[in-house]
């Protein structure tokens, strides 16, 4: 990648210094009339069917101006365009590193009727994405025609699990009749057994997903599942489909009913719109619904190229997050969807954000002197209101919140109770929380005091349909990428997972009887745990 970019220090940018000053007196959301109609109407932005309201963040026009300048001074949008064009953005300059392109956006750059100005540069990746989609369409037609399969079990972990699982659950209302998708991820043997119990294996497809073809959990679970098929007198080869990198140990068409490819320029946590999500989602929702997800994501990718932060939704969200993290000093971020089917979506965004931006060195290997990615957590509302909102409202630990809501329900089945529908109750709570966190409440009883001034934003759309969900997914992918670009960290590797793997292998070697695999402390730990 560009060396000058890799040596950039965002905290030396003029806008950073301006923001430090502005953060000494952040906007007082709890002042009377702070939430004026004028403020609310000017602090909103819309793209790809999503509307972002941010009057309840602790920002002023000055702050927004400085954030825009920070984006310009760090070339945030320029870097995004470089990424989309296929420059090597996954790199630590001057040290051995993955040195890869980052081209998950190519997996949805497949629509002739949407603008494609970067096509020439990323033509190869786009071509491969189109070819895999054609193969998928063909495969799904065959499945449809033959009518042999009712269930699909996706075997994968991390990015090969969370994204596809989150999207599938979120689109419950769109599942194809008579089709079900299941997920096996954890190496926990109970999990695999529980998923397989009750399936008619003769009518079940298994989709094994591992880019490297060497992921321990996935290979183990593939064997566990295959053993079940064999015990039932079925040949895994007639049921198993592979999604893996070209040339990986798993890339062996002789062993699978069908093979699909993923590419080293798509990281696991960014892979839901590639074949990693495509096979399972296409099977469960239908090919056309999967394409709709891609379309929404593509629309949001195009929005991310807008240099005006107030019109670029993911960039705006990234900047508001940086304001909260680096200038107001908040360590966590709660994502609170007012839709039960988004329960696993939060877990996916948690992975996406924390694995991408939980980093301590910049893109030339220097420790960064400023905070990077926050701890992301959350549960659907209104449930969360009855669980952890107590702390959010009244503790002195401030938690910035991102609310997500929809104007209509997915299924349309509703009932008036006490004069309002459930959907009305849901959105009433959503808006009320945002206002309550901002304005707080005085009271003579100190235990009933709400200090207010807790920042939040609200993302709202019409109805949670495939296209909206694709836009929502890309909104977060692009937000996370923007934050990484501005912080000058590599959002696309994950060296932090290696040490645990290494040590786990030592314990496994010990279990297999290797005499000196463990040091004295490790042996003592094993014994103290009652596992020796």
Does residue 416 have an active-site annotation? Answer: no
**Could you tell me the smallest distance in angstroms from the CB atom of residue 453 to a copy of itself?**
13
Show the DSSP H helices in 147-268 as ranges.
162-170, 189-196, 216-231
Rounded distance, CA 196 to CA 224, Å? 10
**Could you tell me the smallest distance in angstroms from the CB atom of residue 294 to a copy of itself?**
23
**Is 44 among the residues that bind a copy of itself (CB under 8 A)?**
yes
**Could you tell me the smallest distance in angstroms from the CB atom of residue 147 to a copy of itself?**
21
Residues 502-531 that bind a copy of itself (CB under 8 A): 502-508, 511-512, 520-526, 528-531
Given 207, 460, 475, 488, the residue binding a copy of itself (CB under 8 A): 460
- Residue 178 near residue 230, CB atoms below 8 Å: no
Given 426, 465, 469, 471, the residue binding a copy of itself (CB under 8 A): 426
Q: Residues touching a copy of itself: how many (CB under 8 A)?
A: 154
Beta carbon nearer to a copy of itself, 126 or 339: 339
Beta carbon nearer to a copy of itself, 515 or 520: 520
At 43, list the tokens: 């602090």
Given 341, 465, 473, 486, the residue binding a copy of itself (CB under 8 A): 341
Residues 383-402 that bind a copy of itself (CB under 8 A): 383, 385-397, 399
Q: How many Cα atoms are found within 13 Å in the side-chain-facing hemisphere of 380?
A: 13
Catalytic residue among 355, 379, 402, 477: 355
Does residue 386 have an active-site annotation? Answer: yes
Beta carbon nearer to a copy of itself, 75 or 350: 350
Query: DSSP letters along 73-108, please?
Result: HTTHHHHHHHHHHT-EEE--TTS----EE--GGGGG
**Is 244 among the residues that bind a copy of itself (CB under 8 A)?**
no
**Is 224 among the residues that bind a copy of itself (CB under 8 A)?**
yes
Beta carbon nearer to a copy of itself, 20 or 387: 387
Given 68, 107, 244, 339, the residue binding a copy of itself (CB under 8 A): 339
x/- contact string, 184-223, with a copy of itself (CB under 8 A)? Answer: -xxxxxxxxxx---------------------xx-xx--x
Largest interatomic CA distance in the chain: 75
Task: Return the residue matching tokens 């299924």.
Answer: 411
Given 12, 96, 147, 177, the residue binding a copy of itself (CB under 8 A): 96
At 401, list the tokens: 């919140």
**Is 161 among the residues that bind a copy of itself (CB under 8 A)?**
yes
Phi, then psi, of 169 in degrees rounded to 5: -65, -40
Dihedral Cα 463, 468, 469, 475, nearest 10 deg: -130
- Nearest CA to 224 out of 263, 267, 192 is that of 192
Q: How many Cα atoms are found within 13 Å in the side-chain-facing hemisphere of 206?
A: 32
Catalytic residue among 386, 396, 416, 418: 386
Write 216-222 long-range contacts (CB < 8 A, 24+). Answer: 216/187, 216/501, 217/157, 217/185, 217/186, 217/187, 218/155, 218/156, 218/157, 218/160, 220/187, 221/155, 221/184, 221/185, 221/187, 221/192, 222/155
Does residue 441 have an active-site annotation? Answer: no
Beta carbon nearer to a copy of itself, 1 or 140: 1
Q: Which helix (H) or strand (E) holds 337?
A: strand 332-337
**Could you tell me the smallest distance in angstroms from the CB atom of residue 132 to a copy of itself?**
23
**Could you tell me the smallest distance in angstroms from the CB atom of residue 449 to a copy of itself?**
8
List the catalytic residues: 355, 386, 501
């Amino acid at each position: 990648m560009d060396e000058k970019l890799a040596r950039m220090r965002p905290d030396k940018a003029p806008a950073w210094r301006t923001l430090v000053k502005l953060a000494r007196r952040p906007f007082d959301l709890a002042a009377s009339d702070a939430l004026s109609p004028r403020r609310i109407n000017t602090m909103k932005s819309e793209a790809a069917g999503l509307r972002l309201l941010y009057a309840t963040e602790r920002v002023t026009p000055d702050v927004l101006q400085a954030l825009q300048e920070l984006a310009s001074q760090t070339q945030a949008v320029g870097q995004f365009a470089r990424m989309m064009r296929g420059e090597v953005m996954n790199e630590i300059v001057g040290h051995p590193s993955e040195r890869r392109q980052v081209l998950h956006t190519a997996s949805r750059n497949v629509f002739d009727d949407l603008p494609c100005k970067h096509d020439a540069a990323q033509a190869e990746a786009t071509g491969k994405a189109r070819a895999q989609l054609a193969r998928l369409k063909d495969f799904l037609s065959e499945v449809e025609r033959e009518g042999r399969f009712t269930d699909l079990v996706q075997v994968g972990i991390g990015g090969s699990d969370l994204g596809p699982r989150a999207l599938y659950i979120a689109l419950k209302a769109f599942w194809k009749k008579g089709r079900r998708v299941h997920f096996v991820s954890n190496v926990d043997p109970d999990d695999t057994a529980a998923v397989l119990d009750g399936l008619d294996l003769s009518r079940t497809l298994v989709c094994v997903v591992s880019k490297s073809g060497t992921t321990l959990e996935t290979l183990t679970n593939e064997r566990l599942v295959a053993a079940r098929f064999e015990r039932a007198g079925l040949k895994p080869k007639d049921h198993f489909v592979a999604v893996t990198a070209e040339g990986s140990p798993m890339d062996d068409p002789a062993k699978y009913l069908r093979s699909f490819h993923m590419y080293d320029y798509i990281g696991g946590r960014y892979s839901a719109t590639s074949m990693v999500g495509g096979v399972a989602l296409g099977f469960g929702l239908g090919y056309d619904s999967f394409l709709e997800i891609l379309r929404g994501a593509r629309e949001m990718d195009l929005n991310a190229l807008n240099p005006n932060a107030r019109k670029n939704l993911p960039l705006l969200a990234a900047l508001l997050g940086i304001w909260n993290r680096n200038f107001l000093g908040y360590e966590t971020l709660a994502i609170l969807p007012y839709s039960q089917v988004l329960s696993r979506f939060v877990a996916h965004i948690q992975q996406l954000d924390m694995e991408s931006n939980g980093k301590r060195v910049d893109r030339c290997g220097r420790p960064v002197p400023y905070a990077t990615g926050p701890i992301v957590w959350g549960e659907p509302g209104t449930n969360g209101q009855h669980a952890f909102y107590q702390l959010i409202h009244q503790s002195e630990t401030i938690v910035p919140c991102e609310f997500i809501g929809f104007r209509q329900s997915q299924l349309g089945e509703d009932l008036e109770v006490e004069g309002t529908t459930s959907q009305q109750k849901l959105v009433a709570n959503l808006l009320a929380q945002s206002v309550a966190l901002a304005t707080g409440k005085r009271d003579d009883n100190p235990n009933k005091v709400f200090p207010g001034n807790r920042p939040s934003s609200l993302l709202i759309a019409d109805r949670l349909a495939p296209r909206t969900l694709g836009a929502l997914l890309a909104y977060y992918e692009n937000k996370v990428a923007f934050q990484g670009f501005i912080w000058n960290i590599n959002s696309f590797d994950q060296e932090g997972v290696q040490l645990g793997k290494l040590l786990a292998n030592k314990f496994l070697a010990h279990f297999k009887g290797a005499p000196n695999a463990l040091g004295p402390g490790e042996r003592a730990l094993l014994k103290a745990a009652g596992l020796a």
